[in-house]
Amino acid sequence: MRAAAWLAFGLFSADVTCAQMVARGRHAMVVTREAHATDAALAVLQAGGNAVDAAVAAGFVLAVTHPAAGNLGGGGFLLVRFHDNRAAFLDFRERAPLAASRNMYLDAEGTPTRESLTGWRAAAVPGTVRGLELAHRKWGTRPWAELLAPAIRLASHGFLVSYALARSLRQAKVLGEFPESRRIFQRDGRFYEPGDRLVQPELARTLERLARHGARDFYEGETARRLAAAMQAHGGLITLEDLRRYEALERPPLRGSYKGWEILTAPPPSSGGVGLLQMLAMLETTGYEKAGAGSAAVVHFLTEVMRRYYADRSRWLGDPDFARIPVQELLDPVYVAARRRTIDPERATPSESLGPGELPTAESSETTHYSIVDAQGNAVAVTYTLNGSYGCGVTVPGLGFLLNNEMDDFAVKPGAPNYYGLIQGEANAIAPGKRPLSSMTPTIVLRNGRLAMVLGSPGGPRIITTVLQVFLNLVDFNLDLWTAVLRPRFHHQWKPDAIVVEPGFSPDTLALLRAKGHRIEEARSIGEVAAIAADEGWWVGVADPRAEGKASGF
């Protein structure tokens, strides 16, 4: 049976059913954006692999079957919590090339150019392959080559193109700007139709080398040499030295709490975890939820909380390897209470009159997320990305993978909006070797020391508010996981000063918000959550109906 609510979001794929989007399992659960990735990860778990093994397999399959965001040429974050309560966070965010410079994307008048978004110069040094290998080396149990085998098979033999993928490839104008991307993904204008087979032999050969030689091939071997040569030939910045120097890093997860729930989430260079915890702290003592889910009063109050965090984000967040990021100050109860007191429950605060807070002295929209729980109770949340849909549009000749456009996630011009309209400050200015600020928010939630939720989403700056709303739907409004994910969402990011809303809010609610002084804009959809929750001895998995994902367990 189809979900009427799914159709209401305008997702007209004939490939997704309710049975794919919701699953229950006694032992293990996988939720990803794409059915082949879910199936591959679940097969790893059924063969005795753990959640990290399954995450590696899913990550490489998505590089084949979800080219808009799944990747070898991008980067991301992996959050893991083990059944014995150990937790870790891997940062494999891309880094600016050594040849990068602060004003590299400004023209003679100081105006940002399109080069940070499209073409060879938009790419930062990829981190995905190094990050997945580090996860496997530290915590994996199955052979590396075994985990890459499903991706190699799908690339070499192909897979059937879904309706949604066919439409996405046809509409991706950036692919048409670069010969190799146009040839592979658009067949030089003979666009893929649903049911056609997409075969990627160049990508298969790259994956085969990675299976044999590991990440060393990508950063020092044949793949590295070919990537660096292509960069040089097309005016890009990434060199063999950039690739050789790239490292994925282990950082302590950010920890917080809300009404007795323990939260593990992403530290900087993600702005997501700080944002999630600061917004929850502003909400905790207010009783805002008494007005009811989806009410104008709730949307107003959440909007004002969002507005204040994104103002802080614009000034204080960046790469912790390059500047001191004031995480503790941003989460300090005294500071949070001061920000909360500036909220008027009846009127919108104009963003022009609200700046970042003064701290105590002491600093994609195309992405994809997947969540995994194994039979031992280990949990992994992975969010990784090319930044924009299909990244910078460039497929590396002979290697078969798309490159990111993460350089636009820096403050190309501090104080000027980026691709997502975000205002960013000096802490996120371009510098050689620096990692751009991210909104990715992989999150794991515990209750009384036991695993309760695993969740995350794509969506650029909307990731943070998407994760926030799904969590609040579960915790404050006592909704089941399916309804918590399905409910219409909204987003505010300080500037531009507007609430962006999905379809589904009542006209009366929107009228009341306008009466409070809010400007309303509409969006087709916000976020694509992949979530798992504990439910009386079962794991429930939900793949967001806004996408054609799949949940599956056993």
Phi–psi pair at 75, nearest 5 degrees: -170, 180
Q: Are 142 and 47 in contact (CB under 8 A)?
A: yes
SS3 state at 225: helix
DSSP for 505-528 reads S-HHHHHHHHHTT--EEE-S----
Quickly list DSSP for 92-114. Answer: E--B--TT--TTTTB-TTS-B-G
**Per-position b or e across 418-441, b if 16+ CB within 10 A of its CB:** bbbebbbbebbbbbebbbbbbbbb
CA-to-CA distance for 80 and 52, rounded, in angstroms? 8
Q: What six digits make up the tokens of 470?
A: 């799904």
Q: Which of 128, 367, 441, 466 is catalytic?
A: 367
Tokens, residue 268: 């900087």
* Cβ neighbour number for residue 138 with a 10 Å cutoff: 12
CA separation for the pair 499, 519 (Å, rounded): 6
CA distance 59 to 500: 30
> Is residue 367 annotated as part of the catalytic site, yes or no?
yes
Q: Residue 387: in which H helix or E strand, if any?
A: strand 379-387
* Contact of 105 with 112, CB cutoff 8 Å: yes
Strand intervals (E) in 338-378: 366-373
**CB-CB neighbours of 504 under 10 Å:** 15
How far, in Å, CA of 297 to CA of 299, rounded? 6
- Burial label, 478 (beta-carbon count in 10 A; 0-12, 13-18, 19+): exposed
Range 167-186 burial, b when 16+ CB lie within 10 A, else e:
bbbbebebbeebebbbebbb
Q: What does the block give as tokens for 130?
A: 């190094």
Q: Residue 386 in contact with residue 402, Cβ under 8 Å?
A: yes
Reference 243, options 268, 258, 225; nearest CA is 225
Q: Which amino acids are annotated catalytic? A: 367
